[in-house]
Chain A
Amino acid sequence: MATFSSTITLKDPKLAHGGSGIRPPAVDGGGGGGDDNGYSDYGARLRRARLGTIIALVAVVMVFVALTSAYVVRRGLPVMDERSGSYVRDWMEVNLPTALLLVNTLVLLVSSVTAEFARRQITRRVALVPVESIPGVSIGQERNFPWLPLTALLGLGFLFGQWAAWRELQDRGFALATSASSSFVYLLTATHGVHLAGGVLAMLYAAITSLTRKPVEARRIVVDVTVWYWHFMALLWLYIFALLEFAR
């Protein structure tokens, strides 16, 4: 139904694909490159999903940049004593349950490793798809260790550990509104937790689709970007932990 308007002078639009007959464009094609714009091409889709993930992570970084600057500013900010009109420092150091948080950190780091195994596992599977399609060729029972569900489980374990840390904080007398410092502890851990929970959901989604007949390529894209996101969440946690520990 669609036609190029009469103003166009291409003799045969198909030539645009092949590049024979018409002088190719002077400069390399945009990011799309390739012979077509790669819209349905698997490799291009993976690259696009990764690019999208990087851009999404920039947005996540900005959220934490804002929270960190608020934290640093508030920590150094003298507060006015209303009686005398003079400024005093009121920053109260939070007594963090460091041991528990270290355990949580370990769990998250291990989950990052298992996530990476899951990513490599499915990458191998994709590479083997053309071989599998040859009649009579069987790869055998490829190592199908459930790295993905394990990662999701470890992620849930971390979230549970963070919740336990919150309980411990409450027992030590630091509720959300106790002091500015404790507000920030809850705020930073909760914001990270929400982002990680998103990662857990994506992991579970990928694990469930492996039971359905979804093509392995499509699943690989989900797994790939989720794992990169997961690694980033681990890094982010290390940063938050360091901030709360060393800049109390």
Chain B
Amino acid sequence: MGLAILVLIWLITFFSTYFFAAKTWWLPRGVSTSAPWIDHQFALTFVLMGIVFVVAQVSLGYLVWKYRARPSSGPVRYSHGNTTLEILWTALTAILFIGLNLMGSNVWAHERFEPAKAGSVPVEVTGMQFAWYFRYPGADGKFGQTDPKLIDPSSGNEAAIGLNTSDPAAKDDIVAGTMFLPVNREVDLTLRAVDVIHSFFVPSFRFKQDAVPGLAIRMHFTPTEVGDYEIACAELCGLGHYKMHGMVKVVSQEDFDRWLAQREADKQ
């Protein structure tokens, strides 16, 4: 029985660790400026927790087998514990966990404490059951007014987010169902939701943020490679949650400008 437990626990430990270490299933390749930092912190945490995991599970299996009751077993070690050991491992785990935390915190500070730098691309993301819309302010650099009463999801784009076309600032606003971004430029994101909470999740950018009704949440990130990336909604938003899917197309600055101009032309 002791041996069976040892074998089972060791096998579980081996297989669990193997698929992590072999990266059979792993984070997609990171294509934003913060991705390397996050991945580094991830790897560090993974190695440390992996060591603790393997040591704890292997010793559990070993101790159960080694000290199983047998007719030949000697008397047990009568002991109520060891204060020195207790203090030692309390201190060690405290240092490990809190230290790890502090190491990751500067990345978080950089991501969330500072606003986007000047010259970034402003984009407003609006989530609704069950679609994403992306708004660009146009040549004036200002987002026009929206009006909840004007929201008409069945019409799509401008009407879907209730753009108030009588506002002069709204005239040149562009609303699209696919997100276009220029490569290597910071994106100044504003997240909104019209009905329930949604979450804007792009695994390749290591980016996720809830879009909350009643809040306009400002975030920023910088994509670093041209390509198509998928957006998944990561907050339960209703029966169509699983198909609230979107695309980000990261293109060169020229292609981005050309796309914007094309959309402006289409509006006229």
Contacts and interface: CB of A to CB of B under 8 A. Distances in A.
A76 to B, nearest CB: 15
Contacts of B206: none
Contacts of A84: 145
Contacts of A85: 124, 143, 146, 190, 192, 216
Contact of A83 (B147, B192, B214, B215): B147
Contacts of B192: 85
A74 to B, nearest CB: 12
Nearest to A82: B148
Question: At the interface, is chain B mostly helix, strand, loop or mixed?
Answer: loop
B164 interface: yes
A130 to B, nearest CB: 50
A70 interface: no
Given A85-B190, A85-B192, A80 B147 contact: no
Contacts of B216: 80, 85
Contacts of A82: 146-148
A106 interface: no
Nearest to B216: A85
B190 A83 contact: no
Nearest to B148: A82
Contacts, number: 18
B123 to A, nearest CB: 13
A82 B151 CA distance: 12
B109 to A, nearest CB: 24
Interface string B71-84: 00000000000000
A79 interface: yes
Contacts of B148: 82
A63 B100 CA distance: 37
Contacts of B145: 83-84
Interface string A81-105: 0111100000000000000000000
Contacts of A79: 214
Nearest to A85: B216
A80 B190 contact: no
Interface string A115-129: 000000000000000
Given A82-B147, A83-B145, A85-B190, 15 more contacts: A79-B214, A80-B214, A80-B215, A80-B216, A82-B146, A82-B148, A83-B146, A83-B147, A83-B164, A84-B145, A85-B124, A85-B143, A85-B146, A85-B192, A85-B216
Nearest 9 A/B pairs, CB to CB: A83-B145, A85-B216, A82-B148, A80-B214, A83-B147, A84-B145, A80-B216, A80-B215, A83-B146
Interface of B: 124, 143, 145-148, 164, 190, 192, 214-216
14 contacts: A79-B214, A80-B214, A80-B216, A82-B146, A82-B148, A83-B145, A83-B146, A83-B147, A83-B164, A85-B124, A85-B143, A85-B146, A85-B192, A85-B216
